């Protein structure tokens, strides 16, 4: 009799466990903050055994890094409206929705916290920043190809992204559509 090997199905139990654990981490970071929960807390919230979490991720930091990198890789597509102003307005509004959404603050807090937690945390932070820079640079390159005169990527990060992150991280005011549009408009009038 031939021995059967187990069948692995994408989207099966493993994917459900991963999604439940990731959501548990995001919820706990949002509720308690970084460093205020254990693998046991995550496992209990996700409805899985501690051993399942340890077997898959090894450490809490590895799990947190995986959560962050997964969230970063699930971003919305880059807007392409035909103009730099349109692209920047659409992108800024998209980022504002992401960071004020149900998990946005938790993901930002996790990014900041992990950046102080060793090599994996630094890689996660660097990937977060690189992902944002790639999006921005893509818009700026497209604008230059159309003959527009775009600002440089750092100006976009400094004048549009940073103020939004600060407002959300420090609860310093809402990201209203007018506020977000004003950030873009001020940068474009300076360029």
Rg (CA), the chain: 20
- Give the whole-angstrom CA distance, residue 122 versus residue 113: 10
**Span 31-54, pLDDT tens digits:** 888 888 999 999 999 999 999 999
Q: Which two tokens stand for residue 116?
A: 């102080």
Question: What three-state secondary structure class fits 23?
Answer: helix
Give the residue ranges of DSSP H helices in 60-156.
60-72, 84-100, 104-114, 118-145, 153-156
pLDDT of residue 181: 98
**Span 68-92, pLDDT tens digits:** 778 766 666 788 999 999 999 999 9
Residues 134 and 140 sit within 8 Å (Cβ to Cβ): no
> Which structural domains are found in the chain, ordered by start?
13-69 (1.10.10.60), 72-190 (1.10.357.10)
Q: Which of 8-17, 30-39, 119-128, 182-191 has the highest mean pLDDT?
A: 182-191
Residues in Cβ contact with 157 at an 8 Å cutoff, skipping those fewer than 6 apart? 132, 133, 136
- Give the whole-angstrom CA distance, residue 130 versus residue 119: 16
pLDDT of residue 183: 98
pTM for the predicted model, two decimal places = 0.75
Question: What three-state secondary structure class fits 69?
Answer: helix
| Sign, CA torsion 54/71/102/172 | positive
pLDDT of residue 4: 54
Question: What three-state secondary structure class fits 175?
Answer: coil
């Amino acid at each position: 009799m031939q021995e059967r090997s187990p069948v692995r199905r994408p989207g099966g139990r493993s994917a459900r466990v991963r999604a439940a654990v990731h959501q548990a981490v995001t919820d706990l970071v949002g509720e308690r903050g970084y460093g205020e929960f254990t693998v046991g807390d995550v496992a209990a919230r996700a409805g899985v055994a501690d051993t399942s979490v340890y077997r898959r991720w090894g450490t809490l930091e590895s799990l947190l890094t995986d959560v962050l990198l997964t969230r970063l890789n699930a971003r919305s597509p880059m807007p392409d409206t035909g103009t730099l102003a349109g692209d920047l307005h659409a992108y800024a509004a998209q980022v504002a929705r992401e960071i004020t959404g149900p998990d946005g603050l938790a993901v930002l807090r996790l990014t900041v916290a992990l950046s102080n937690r060793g090599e994996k945390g630094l890689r996660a932070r660097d990937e977060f920043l690189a992902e944002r820079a790639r999006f921005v640079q893509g818009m700026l390159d497209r604008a230059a190809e159309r003959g527009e005169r775009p600002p440089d990527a750092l100006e976009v990060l400094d004048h549009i992204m940073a103020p939004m992150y600060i407002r959300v991280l420090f609860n310093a005011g809402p990201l209203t559509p007018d506020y977000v549009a004003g950030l873009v408009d001020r940068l474009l009038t300076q360029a």
